């Protein structure tokens, strides 16, 4: 693990990142201090908290941290939150007894855990604050849809509207669907060693396709660098498919060979054995990542034929009220929440938490 950035240290183009968010998958795979396995007592606390909010009749979207009381597990989640926001940016919780829970109880328990990590924001134009990563027949290559609704492999990327991401596995696939993560700061540092000019190419604002989710008064595209240097931190925003599909707008400047070479190198680094961390993701597992510092991916997968056995993950996009200062580009893309002033996710009228993919 790298040394923590000293208070007031500047970070700019050409400077390597020195922070716990710089980690190497090969090193992390040898440790399990980023994994928390639920105890029987913690599972009982989750059950009690879930039952308590159900007795009160609270809709999922109204459940707050104060409503979802976890006397002993709560402090553990505070530590996980600190590690996500200002540490390595990767954490796993294992052992939620999902096989014995109804869909509603699983969703409430997951939402309750998430309420101790951050504040849920909308994940799509329908206002879903509880998302469903499930194949509904869409294609990741369709410029009017998003990859989480397909079975396609998704190259290393960040999600487009979150500070923190949670994924809760309800059902695994028949085959494929391997999850991997990589430190964006470690990728940045390794690229600096090989070709600083390609790092500079990704520090330039690049146009991104909004893929049909266009806020009122905005263009169907926006600009943001991949590597953002701000207030002593590096934040990363990268979805190559969206950068490339923005080229469908004739009025936008063309990507150069230099930009393509930079993205190629970034992916080469992310997939390397040294940097990549492969994660076994099983029913009852919850994976959290800092979306500003961590890239994630999954391989193509094949589902079971029975609908009830299809691969199914619940997803949360979370704002971090005390997170890092962020450059203006994040707010141009996402807007800000009225409650905390943090990036707000996809603009949508209202908030809903469906129990099934729509």
> For the chain, how many residues are written?
358
* Residue (of 324, 317, 159) closest to 235 by Cα position: 324
How far apart are alpha carbons 37 and 342 in whole angstroms?
Answer: 30
How far apart are alpha carbons 177 and 175 in whole angstroms?
Answer: 7
Domain assignment present for residue 5? The answer is no
How far apart are alpha carbons 183 and 186 in whole angstroms?
Answer: 5
CA 102 to chain centre: 25
Q: Over the stretch 62-88, which tens digit does the pLDDT of each residue have?
A: 999 999 999 999 999 999 999 999 999
pLDDT in tens, the chain (358 residues): 333 344 345 799 999 999 999 999 999 999 999 999 999 999 999 999 999 999 999 999 999 999 999 999 999 999 999 999 999 999 999 999 999 999 999 999 999 999 999 999 999 888 999 999 997 776 666 666 666 778 888 999 999 889 999 999 999 988 878 999 999 999 999 999 999 999 999 999 999 998 888 888 889 999 999 999 999 999 999 999 999 999 999 999 999 999 999 999 999 999 999 999 999 889 999 999 999 999 999 988 888 899 889 999 999 999 999 899 999 988 887 788 888 889 888 877 789 999 998 7
Run of H or E residues at 345: none
Domain assignment present for residue 7? The answer is no
- pLDDT at residue number 143: 65
SS3 337: coil
Domain assignment present for residue 20? The answer is no
Instruction: Give the relative orientation of helices 40-55 and 103-115 as an angle to the nearest 10 degrees.
Output: 100
Domain assignment present for residue 96? The answer is yes
For residues 141 and 153, the answer to whether their CB atoms sit within 8 Å is no
How far apart are alpha carbons 160 and 334 in whole angstroms?
Answer: 9
Domain assignment present for residue 42? The answer is yes
Beta bridge partners of 298: 154, 179
How many domains does the chain fold into? 1
For residues 134 and 312, the answer to whether their CB atoms sit within 8 Å is yes
For residues 357 and 126, the answer to whether their CB atoms sit within 8 Å is no
Domain assignment present for residue 239? The answer is yes
Pairing assessment for the beta strands 233-236 and 154-157 based on DSSP bridges? unpaired
Rg from Cα positions in the chain:
20
Question: Which residues contact residue 331 at a Cβ distance below 8 angstroms, ignoring those fewer than 6 apart?
Answer: 343
- pLDDT at residue number 56: 97
- pLDDT at residue number 174: 85
Full domain range(s) for residue 279: 25-334
- pLDDT at residue number 1: 31
Domain assignment present for residue 127? The answer is yes
Q: Over the stretch 130-159, which tens digit does the pLDDT of each residue have?
A: 999 997 776 666 666 666 778 888 999 999
Run of H or E residues at 112: helix 103-115
- pLDDT at residue number 8: 45
* Residue (of 93, 86, 85, 48) closest to 68 by Cα position: 48
For residues 16 and 10, the answer to whether their CB atoms sit within 8 Å is no
Domain of 312: which CATH number?
3.60.130.10
Pairing assessment for the beta strands 90-94 and 35-37 based on DSSP bridges? parallel
* Residue (of 113, 94, 118, 114) closest to 32 by Cα position: 94
CA dist 250 → 221, 253, 277 (Å): 12, 8, 38
Domain assignment present for residue 221? The answer is yes
- Residue 240 tokens read as 């190559």
Q: In the β-sheet with 277-279, what is the strand arrangement from edge to edge?
A: 154-157, 294-298, 179-183, 277-279
Angle at 219 between CA 223 and CA 141, to 5 degrees: 75
């Amino acid at each position: 693990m790298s040394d923590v950035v000293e208070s007031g240290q500047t970070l700019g183009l050409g400077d390597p990142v020195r922070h716990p968010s710089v980690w190497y998958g090969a090193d992390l795979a040898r440790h399990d201090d980023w994994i928390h396995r639920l105890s029987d007592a913690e599972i009982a606390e989750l059950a009690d908290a879930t039952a308590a909010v159900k007795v009160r009749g609270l809709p999922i979207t109204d459940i707050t941290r104060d409503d979802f009381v976890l006397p002993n597990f709560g402090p553990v989640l505070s530590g996980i939150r600190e590690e996500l926001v200002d540490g390595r940016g990767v954490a796993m919780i294992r052992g939620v007894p999902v096989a014995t829970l109804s869909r509603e109880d699983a969703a409430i328990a997951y939402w309750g855990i998430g309420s101790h990590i951050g504040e849920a924001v909308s994940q799509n134009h329908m206002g879903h604050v509880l998302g469903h990563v499930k194949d509904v027949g869409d294609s990741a290559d369709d410029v009017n849809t998003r990859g989480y609704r397909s079975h396609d492999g998704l190259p290393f990327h960040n999600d487009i509207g979150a500070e923190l991401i949670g994924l809760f596995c309800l059902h695994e696939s028949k085959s494929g669907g391997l999850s991997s993560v990589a430190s964006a700061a470690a990728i940045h540092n390794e690229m600096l060693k090989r070709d600083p000019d390609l790092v500079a190419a990704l520090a330039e604002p690049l146009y991104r396709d909004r893929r049909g989710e266009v806020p009122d008064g905005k263009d169907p595209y926006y600009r943001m660098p991949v590597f953002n240097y701000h207030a002593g931190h590096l934040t990363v925003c990268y979805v190559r498919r969206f950068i490339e599909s923005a080229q469908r707008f004739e009025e936008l400047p063309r990507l150069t060979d230099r930009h393509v070479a930079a993205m190629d190198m970034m992916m080469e680094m992310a997939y390397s054995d040294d940097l990549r961390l492969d994660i076994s993701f099983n029913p009852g597992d919850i994976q959290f990542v800092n979306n500003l510092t961590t890239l994630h991916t999954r391989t193509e997968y094949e589902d079971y034929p029975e609908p009830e056995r299809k691969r199914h993950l619940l997803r949360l996009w979370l704002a971090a009220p005390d997170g890092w200062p962020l450059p203006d580009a994040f707010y141009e893309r996402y807007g800000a929440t009225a409650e905390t002033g943090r990036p707000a996710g996809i603009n949508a009228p209202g908030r809903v938490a469906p129990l099934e993919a729509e």
